[in-house]
Amino acid sequence: MEPVLEKLGEAVEFGKVDKNSPYPPNLKGQDGADELAKEALDSGVKPTDVLTGALVPAMDRVGQKFSENKIFVPQMLMSAKAMGAAMAHLKPFFQSGDVKTKGTFIIGTVKGDLHDIGKNLVAMMVEGGGWSIVDLGVDVNEDAFNQALAENPGAVVGLSALLTTTMANMEEIVRKVKEAHPGTKVLVGGAPLNDDFRAKIGADFYSPDPRGAVEYLKDLAA
Ligand code: B1M
């Protein structure tokens, strides 16, 4: 592997955003994801190779360590931020169509619910898995999901809920999304959910963490 891709993968895995970033302390003063992604592209590495050779595997490792409780939310947020810094350099290539994404993932926290930290993590990890993200934010109702689906046919939908009261709103959203866009896959997650609840509301998949979401989408795209 190109040395610059190896360094970039490490920067993302350990959350080194850019040269000025003080975190992590052992990489102080060294280039971060921002500089390394730019260097890779400037030196002629293809954008797809930057994504699939460095960023996606790095986020895979991050997701795995998070699932195994080897790292925690702050470290994952720093990795996601580093990923974002690198992705900013790749965005123009995605937008021009030079790099194909695996598909579009529409995500939102369901109506009545303002919690967005977990939802944002899932969105960032899925983006790291090579998907385009349409993030509808918080307090999102079925009409907004259906509108986004109309604009992005074939997209997969992700619903997040953190409150026992708002998880109940997922059922109506799943039903209305599937009525308006038959065949749409709906993935659900959030602390109060479990797979029994997922089955009861007719969603397709439940994941307790971002990694499970990434793995599910990887299987769908295969
Ligand atoms: Co609120 N809150 N909160 N809160 N809050 C909880 C959730 C609560 C458990 C605290 C408690 O009482 N112990 C409780 C819910 C009780 C319940 O219903 N079971 C609660 C409450 C009651 C409330 C209010 C009603 C409080 C009030 O006003 N009386 C109010 C509701 C406002 C509203 O939404 N309408 C409220 C408000 C808030 C703040 C605004 C202050 C703030 C949110 C800030 C923000 O999100 N921007 C907040 C916070 C921070 C929390 C706690 C402390 C932390 C939540 C969090 O971010 N966790 C939380 C208590 C706790 O969890 N310790 C609490 C970290 C995050 C990474 O985890 O979101 O679970 P999580 O996401 C995980 C997984 O669940 C999963 O992946 C993520 C990473 O592993 N996941 C998915 C999440 N979505 C997924 C989607 C997927 C797949 C996986 O696929 C699509």
pLDDT for res 136:
98
Cα(76) to ligand 1 centroid in Å equals 17
pLDDT at 193: 98
Please indicate whether residue 163, judged by its CB atom, sits closer than 6 Å to ligand 1.
yes
- The low-confidence residues of the chain, meaning pLDDT below 50, are none
- For the entire predicted model, the pTM comes to 0.86
CA 51 to ligand 1 center in whole angstroms: 31
The pLDDT score that the predictor gives to residue 97 is: 66
The pLDDT, as a whole number, for residue 95 is 67
Give, for ligand 1, the residue of 162, 198, 209 to mutate: max count of ligand atoms closer than 8 Å to Cβ.
162
Q: Ligand 1: which of 59, 106, 115, 185 to mutate, most ligand atoms within 8 Å of CB? A: 115
Q: Which amino acid is at 2?
A: E
Nearest-angstrom CA–CA distance, 128 and 193: 24
Q: Is 213 in the pocket of ligand 1 (CB under 6 A)?
A: yes
Mean per-residue pLDDT over the chain, rounded: 93
Nearest one of 28, 39, 27 to 89, comparing CA atoms: 39
pLDDT value of residue 129: 85
